[in-house]
Structure 1
Amino acid sequence: MPHSTPTTPDRWSLESWFSGFGKADYTEFKAALVRDVELLKTRAAALGGNTAEIVGVINTLETVSDRLGHLSAYLGCLSADDANDEGVKADEAWISTLEAESTKLMASLRSALAALSDAAFDSMLSDPALKNAEHAVKRMRHEGQHQMSAEMESLAADLNVNGLHAWGRLYDTLTGKMEFEMAFPDGHKEIVPMSRRRALMSEGDRKLREAAFHDGQKPWHDHAVTLAAGLNGIAGTRLSLFGRRGLPHFLDTPLFDGAMSRKSLDAMLEAIHANIDLPRRAIRKAAKLQGTPALHYFDLEAPQVAPPDEKPLTWDEACATVDHAFSAAYPKLGEYFREMLSQRWIEAQPRAGKRPGAFCTGSQLKHEERVYMTFHKTVHDMVTLAHEVGHAWHSCVLRPARSFAASYPMTLAETASNFGEMILLDGLMSDPGITEATKAYLLDQEMLRAHAYLINIPMRYEFEKAFYTERAGGELSVSRFSELMNEAQRKLYGDTLLPDGTDPMFWAYKMHFFITGVSFYNFPYVFGYLLSQALFARFKAEGAAFLPRYEAFLAMTGSATCEEVVKQTLGEDLTKPEFWATALKAMEPSLQAYEAIK
């Protein structure tokens, strides 16, 4: 890997957004935004059938939403940057109430759109002021046709702050304080924060993983009744609201949010189940490398090939490697990555007080992106960097679009990030200077990702679907949650898990089930992973000639459904299991190389 003097910026700058938290420009921005949200809410509440006034509200909403998103992104960056800043925490709580007010005005606007006749709505869409916003406005009208009265939606928005979302906050507070006593393999005992448990279960030492798994189960069992109440409360609230809004199925909202059809989701899952032995083969090989007949749940995120015995990767080396891979395969992406570094749009500095995790965010107001992560001198961190820059590039391609055409669903967002990852990994694997040890390690990492996306995440979907189906008839007990989790794990993993190798408490500690902003925070990841596999296979076959089509794909993601985007840019049909099966089988060459590791 390239070596250079450590001079690449690893600390981001947010000063182009605001001169500083609490400074005059920040407080003035907040005050103006509160005033304009309230004015627009009043204006939206008074909407009738005057299409010219509706168009005016839509366009004003677009600019207000840009400002609200800008402020929210800024606070999110500051909060991640310093998790102990009480002032930022207070403003994060404050902005959630402002977002609730925005939800109310959206409800009024959607009601007005839904009340229009088809002829009046079609005529309104031809207004030049709505050019390139047609897809977004159609979605607003669709939501308006499936919502309660404006007064009831306003009440729901208020109640959700202290009801639905309170369950999520309770989960965050409770789990954030969790810790457990762990007996380490060397005999010493230590009080370990729960936030460290997953990292311990990703260690190469199996005895360490086993201890972290078993000792770390106790707090989840201790709080299981509370956590079950939370999950029942979240799902129960959603099901009640879905019923009031006339939505016949609990998947209607997550599918709408993902801009995809049930037919496409079913086709994708059908292809996964029909080809489930592909990712299972990766797990069987991992078990063979480990020397066990199958894996335990605590083995699933652990590398079975040790990292190459090389000195730690520096930030400069990681950036140079990503730059080289991007520039060689996709020059425009490489140029953009260098711009991000020079503009100090990437936060990667390891230091106390930062929140764990990684994300990409941005501002439609400033047309700038930001990437957040913490670099711990590993190849895995370098891959995370490529993943998040893939997200950022997606937003960059959409900069010329108006805001209503630049907001894309999670399904298509995860496609771009995985594509960035694959460019880096392909560049590393094709580097003539790569060692066999590094190649084996990268293959192992690739297979870890494959079975996570193709088995673990579909397993979460199967659990959540079964849970919501039963929850419609009443609350579930702790034991029933664990039974459903066991059933889902056995269904997807089959014989690749040891007889005692399931984790019945996974429902309690997988934070995604407790996210209150969206439900079914799972299948969009599978969608993005498989679609990116298909895109990358095209790229490998067609070379640089494919890249303009890839950019056309990215540019269209905020203006059409997933099916329309893929049909128009790739000529493929997402409702056919055959498309997804082809994407799945793209992993075969890497899988065979992995199986050949001694």
Structure 2
Amino acid sequence: MADASPLHPDRWSLDSWFSGFGKADYSDFKTKLVSDVEALKNQASALGSDLAEIARVINALESFSDRLGHLSSYLGCLSADDANDEAVKADEAWISTLDAESTKLQATLRSALAKLDDATFARLLSDASLKNAEHSVKRMREEGQKQMTAEMESLAADLNVNGLHAWGRLYDTLTGKMEFEMTFPDGHTETVPMARRRALMSEPDRKLREAAFHAGQKPWNDHAVTLAAALNGIAGTRLSLYDRRGLPHFLNTPLFDGAMSRKSLDAMLEAIHTNIDLPRRALRKAAKLQGTSALHYFDLEAPQIAAPEEKPLTWDEACDTVEKAFSPAYPRLGSYFGGMLKDRWIEAQPRAGKRPGAFCTGSQLKHEERIYMTFHGTVHDMVTLAHEAGHAWHSCVLRPARSFAASYPMTLAETASNFGEMILLSGLMGDPNITEATKAYLLDQEMLRAHAYLINIPMRYEFEKAFYTERAAGEVSVSRLRELMTEAQRNLYGDTLLDDGTDPMFWAYKMHFFITGVSFYNFPYVFGYLLSQALFARFKVEGASFLPRYEAFLSMTGSATCEEVVKQTLGEDLTNPEFWATALKAMEPSLVGYEAIK
């Protein structure tokens, strides 16, 4: 809900990044990037056994990547802010070409590193200019040992601009312009932007949720063939490249990107499936509170216990609530969040033309972060704000590190964002003035969150895994995509969904399936949620004395694997299902309290 005149700005400013899109500083920045990448490609191609020259090119790549990331983040912000801006879209397409040139550069450098024997590579890592970049350089070499020839990688990068990434741009453009005609329960009809649909399906009024669900399905069904072509195109391209690179399984790349092992992933999923009845109990209670035998898909994000105040939250109220939860528990985080508001680093205003979803981005060049979301006055939106603030704080903690040591995997990124959510919810629950009605409401919100991470997101993983398995044999039809989605929902939700309560089109409107930069944009969320449960359990026991240790954890995330970070900070083994089971069972006290609500 937009305030008439909010004290906390709900529109961000990007002025510190560039004076404006298309302005002189912006154009000059683009020109310099183009000349620099060409020079670096030539230098990388000429690399031989001169270790000092290899180190120099590695450092030059780090600087170039900072600047390329800065421009890419800027364009991503502008594009999300106005999905109809054709000039920005043109530059997004242009930067995809520059990304391809950067990919060629990196492939050439990785090939040079892969040619070094172990002893020579060890001498390279001892170069003083590469201090604190060892982890990243080792990963470059490992990738180099698993890639195609430099010429083939260069061709793949070129083709991806107008192939793989073009499918993603098509999805963003198509969905950013989607809207649907909806008849509200009171009988009036509106044209609703698709970006608003999720908020409508989070409303307490079940008739409103149902209307938004069914009316909002029409555009997805109308465009199902196009969306299926995009999904097949994205997955098919990846599978072809995996095969050419000699990668035996489609999970190898997302696991490498997540800096975690298959053994850790399997241990986590084993713990979830073994203990699946815990989050299912929460859904059964939700159905009981709703007065139905089970839930429909459009019920899954809706509160079953109304907020004590019936009016929607204002933006100012949401910001103040988050800041007041952060500051006593984690003063440095609270101060940082207040600074984000003051400096206008958060975009939250509801407007037509905005892209759906929420994200945190930033610039290593400027050492600044930005949060993008659309605020519609729900508690869910407020939790999203805390989630994205956790991401932003993670980047802030890593500012002193060099860029190669500040680039962390999504698995560990999601830990920080979930930690932010948990501080918010814990702060609200710990308020001495909290009423029983408010406590019940917050327990309901906590169970919504647990369901999302322990059932819904694992369901997305199971769908994507099944889809990639079938896509390896050929294109997957719209009807089969619907079947795979329904099967995944039935497998994870069990008896908690009504007979007609699945959503076969979820594959189409879940943006994460269409992100071309990474695949399996799902299990890292679960990883982060459960790991944050483990971290937060330590925080509750140790109090403020844990926070320096937590920041040490954040500081390590760009310099080690997930297994190494957790072993050094928590002394735990991620490949042990019991670690994950213990983290999952942390929800049980809240679940028991939820089940006791009359």
Return the TM-score normalized by structure 1.
0.95
Report the CA distance shift for 1:465/1:421 in structure 2 as closer, same or farther (over 3 A).
Answer: same
User: Which residue identity does 1:475 align to in structure 2?
Assistant: E
Give 3-state SS (helix, strand or coil) of 2:370's partner. strand
**C-alpha distance in 2, partners of 1:511/1:437?**
35
Partner of 2:488: 488
Q: What displacement does 1:338 show?
A: 2.5
Partner of 1:497: 497
Deviates more, 1:423-432 or 1:77-86: 77-86
Report the CA distance shift for 1:338/1:198 in structure 2 as closer, same or farther (over 3 A).
Answer: closer
Q: What displacement does 1:86 show?
A: 3.3
**C-alpha distance in 2, partners of 1:351/1:504?**
29
**C-alpha distance in 2, partners of 1:193/1:372?**
17
Partner of 1:271: 271
Partner of 1:478: 478
Deviations along 1:387-439, whole A, 9 cap, x unmatched? 11111111111111110000001111111011011111111111112232222
Aligned ranges for residues 110-259 of structure 1 at < 5 Å?
A: 110-259=110-259
Residue 321 (str. 1) matches residue 309 (str. 2)? no
Q: What displacement does 1:264 show?
A: 0.3
Deviations along 1:211-268, whole A, 9 cap, x unmatched? 3333433443343333333222221211110010010110000000011000000000
Partner of 1:565: 565
Gap runs ≥5 in structure 2: none
Q: Do the aligned residues in 1 keep the contact of 2:358 with 2:371 (CA within 8 Å)? A: yes
**C-alpha distance in 1, partners of 2:185/2:242?**
49
**C-alpha distance in 2, partners of 1:267/1:137?**
28
Q: What displacement does 1:353 show?
A: 4.8
Partner of 1:106: 106
User: Which residue identity does 1:561 align to in structure 2?
Assistant: T
User: Which residue identity does 1:306 align to in structure 2?
Assistant: A
Residue 338 (str. 1) matches residue 322 (str. 2)? no
Gap runs ≥5 in structure 1: none
Aligned ranges for residues 364-403 of structure 1 at < 5 Å?
A: 364-403=364-403
Give 3-state SS (helix, strand or coil) of 1:93's partner. helix
Partner of 2:40: 40
**C-alpha distance in 2, partners of 1:448/1:415?**
18
Q: Do the aligned residues in 2 keep the contact of 1:290 with 1:304 (CA within 8 Å)? A: yes
Partner of 1:53: 53
Aligned ranges for residues 405-444 of structure 1 at < 5 Å?
A: 405-444=405-444
Give 3-state SS (helix, strand or coil) of 2:148's partner. coil
Give 3-state SS (helix, strand or coil) of 2:563's partner. helix
Aligned ranges for residues 86-105 of structure 1 at < 5 Å?
A: 86-105=86-105
Give 3-state SS (helix, strand or coil) of 1:360's partner. strand
Give 3-state SS (helix, strand or coil) of 1:47's partner. coil
**C-alpha distance in 1, partners of 2:241/2:171?**
21
**C-alpha distance in 2, partners of 1:434/1:311?**
18
Report the CA distance shift for 1:44/1:393 in structure 2 as closer, same or farther (over 3 A).
Answer: same
Q: What displacement does 1:595 show?
A: 1.2
User: Which residue identity does 2:42 align to in structure 1?
Assistant: T
Report the CA distance shift for 1:381/1:219 in structure 2 as closer, same or farther (over 3 A).
Answer: closer
Deviates more, 1:260-269 or 1:463-472: 463-472
Deviations along 1:48-101, whole A, 9 cap, x unmatched? 232221111100000111111111112222333344433323222221111111
**C-alpha distance in 2, partners of 1:256/1:496?**
34
Partner of 2:23: 23
Deviates more, 1:457-466 or 1:183-192: 183-192
User: Which residue identity does 1:96 align to in structure 2?
Assistant: S
Partner of 1:543: 543
Deviates more, 1:362-371 or 1:143-152: 362-371
Give 3-state SS (helix, strand or coil) of 1:437's partner. helix
Report the CA distance shift for 1:406/1:384 in structure 2 as closer, same or farther (over 3 A).
Answer: same
**C-alpha distance in 1, partners of 2:96/2:561?**
28
Q: Do the aligned residues in 2 keep the contact of 1:180 with 1:194 (CA within 8 Å)? A: yes
Give 3-state SS (helix, strand or coil) of 2:362's partner. strand
Residue 404 (str. 1) matches residue 404 (str. 2)? yes
Give 3-state SS (helix, strand or coil) of 2:369's partner. strand
Deviates more, 1:205-214 or 1:61-70: 205-214
Aligned CA-pair RMSD: 2.0
User: Which residue identity does 1:320 align to in structure 2?
Assistant: D
Report the CA distance shift for 1:71/1:43 in structure 2 as closer, same or farther (over 3 A).
Answer: same
Aligned ranges for residues 453-464 of structure 1 at < 5 Å?
A: 453-464=453-464
Deviates more, 1:366-375 or 1:131-140: 366-375
**C-alpha distance in 2, partners of 1:231/1:444?**
34
Q: What displacement does 1:129 show?
A: 1.0
Q: Do the aligned residues in 2 keep the contact of 1:49 with 1:115 (CA within 8 Å)? A: no
Deviates more, 1:377-386 or 1:280-289: 377-386
